[in-house]
Each structure stands twice: as C-alpha cells, then as structure tokens.
Amino acid sequence: MATQREIRRRIASVRNIKQITRAMQFVAASKLKRAQDATLAARPYSDKLEEVLADVASVLGGEEHPLLAQREGQRRCLVVFTTDRPLAGALNANVVRFSAREIVEHPGELAVVAVGRKGRDALRRMRVPIAAFFLNFGDRPSFADVLPLARLITDDYLAGTYDRIDLIFPRFISTLIQRPELERLLPIRPSTDTRGIPGNQFIFEPDPGAVLEQLLPRYVAIRVYQAVLESAASEQSSRMVAMKNATENAEDLIEDLTLTYNKVRQANITREMIEIASGAQAL
C-alpha cells in the first residue's frame, strides 16, 4: 500500500487539476453565452438572404448561374469543421467519425477542406486527402474572417475542381447535445418560398442576373459563417460539460484518496501501537 506521503501528494495534484478544470468550465460557460448570441445574431441576415434568393430564383429559374446548376460529375468536397483546441469532450471525435462514415459510404473522388486543427490532424492520420485547411477562427469569428474560406471553395467549385460541396459541422442543439450534420453548400438549391409576393412582381435593379451575381457569393459566405458559429457554440458547450464532469470526477477521486489516506494513517498508528506494546512486553 502507498505511503501516507504519496497519497497526500496525489490528493494535492488532483486538487490542482480540479482547480484547472473548474476554471475551464467557467470560462467555457461565459464564452458559450457569447457564441450563442452570435449564432442568433447571424440568423436575420441569412433568413433575408435566403428569401431574396428565392425571389430572384423564381424569376430566373434554376440554371441561370453556375453556382445553381446541378452537375453530372461526382467529385466531392467535404468542408469539415472541428476545433483547434483539445479538451472539448467527444465533439471532435464525433465529427471525425461522422465524416469518415460519409467518406466510406460514398466512395469516389473526394477531397476535404479542414477547418480546425483537431479535424485536420485526425483526417490526415486516416490518409484522407486534405486540399486545404483553415485554423484559428478563434472564439469570436467575424464574417470577414470566413470570407477567404468561402472564396476558396467557391473558386474551386467554379473552376470545376469539385462538382458538389458539403459542410460537416457540429450543430448546436442544446448545451448537452451537439450533433454532427451534413449540409449541402454547392450547388445551391434556392428555397421556393417567396413569402407572398411572386418574384416577378419585383422590379430588379439593374436586372435579376446582376442581383444574383452579387447575391450568390454572399449566400455561400453566410452559410459557411453559420457553420463556423455553430461549431464555435458547440465547442464551448461541449468543453463546458466535459470540464464539469472532470471537476466532479476529481472530487470523487479526492474523496476516495482521502479515505485511503485515513485508512493508511490508522493502520500505521495501530501498527506502531502494537510495536510499542510488544516492545514493552518484551522488557
């Protein structure tokens, strides 16, 4: 059995770990609030853009723009969103497993654009071809931050490198649940809901095609931005829960160790008593 001093030392180190995990839990909780607010704040813009796209598409029909046209080819690109930093529970493992299943179930020409260090490293170990990666969007990603990513995949799509682009990201459902989801990014399938006013009643300045030309890249960017925000919120909530569990485990461990410590201490006292008693008897 371990000595008293060894056990004391372990208790001290578990207590240190507990302090760290508790601090991380509280930091994640406050960041989660901000991340959730940012996700909600992006919604009006993306809803409106979706609506305008429906208006324009109802006038132009589906095949007016290369970003709208369905293609015959099967070359796919998956944009996989994970975190840069570890200690976020099972979040990254779930996203990577989900991506791996998607890749295995749909064999064919494929490349991955990885957002986040953890996903990039995991997929690279699985020998999945990584076409590009983006790191360090941070805890408060701005719309401008994601523009290079959106531009890259749009350009690759227009250049014909891929025929289809999907996003895989952890959707923030609640503090306890974040579910990996696949969303089709390109080609864009506009909604057909024009909210009461048929698109053809609108006056377009300068013309529907020009509006569409401006609209589509921004629509792609906001979809990517939303995926970034969703995964940021998922990261914080997953980390918060993971750290809460870690803190509780540390408490249990401290309790167990304290019990062991007391037992060892008692055993030592008893042994010493016996030694003294038997020593006295020998005299």
Task: Name the residues that contact another protein, by CB under 8 A.
Answer: 38, 41-42, 44-46, 48-49, 51-52, 55-56, 142-143, 197, 201-206, 208, 210-211, 214-215, 218, 221-222, 225
Tell me how far, at minimum, the Cβ of 193 lies from another protein, in Å. Answer: 14
Nearer residue to another protein within complex by CB, 98 or 219:
219
Nearer residue to another protein within complex by CB, 228 or 246:
228
Tell me how far, at minimum, the Cβ of 14 lies from another protein, in Å. Answer: 42
Q: Indicate the DSSP class of residue 184.
A: E
| Nearest residue to 214 (alpha-carbon basis) of 206, 203, 224 | 206
Tell me how far, at minimum, the Cβ of 216 lies from another protein, in Å. Answer: 12
Sign of CA dihedral 40, 83, 234, 20: negative
Tell me how far, at minimum, the Cβ of 39 lies from another protein, in Å. Answer: 11
Yes or no: say if 34 and 139 are a contact pair by the CB < 8 Å rule.
yes
By the 10 Å C-beta count (0-12 exposed, 13-18 middle, 19+ buried), 119 is classed as buried
Tell me how far, at minimum, the Cβ of 150 lies from another protein, in Å. Answer: 11
Alpha-carbon gap, residue 201 to 262, rounded angstroms: 82
Nearer residue to another protein within complex by CB, 22 or 45:
45
Nearer residue to another protein within complex by CB, 44 or 108:
44
Q: Indicate the DSSP class of residue 35.
A: H
Nearer residue to another protein within complex by CB, 31 or 239:
31
Token couple for 130: 């990584």
On the CB side of 174, CA atoms within 13 Å amount to 2
Nearer residue to another protein within complex by CB, 41 or 93:
41
Sequence length of the chain is 283
Work out the angle at residue 232's Cα, subtended by the Cα atoms of residues 95 and 75, and round it to the nearest 5 degrees: 45
Tell me how far, at minimum, the Cβ of 223 lies from another protein, in Å. Answer: 11
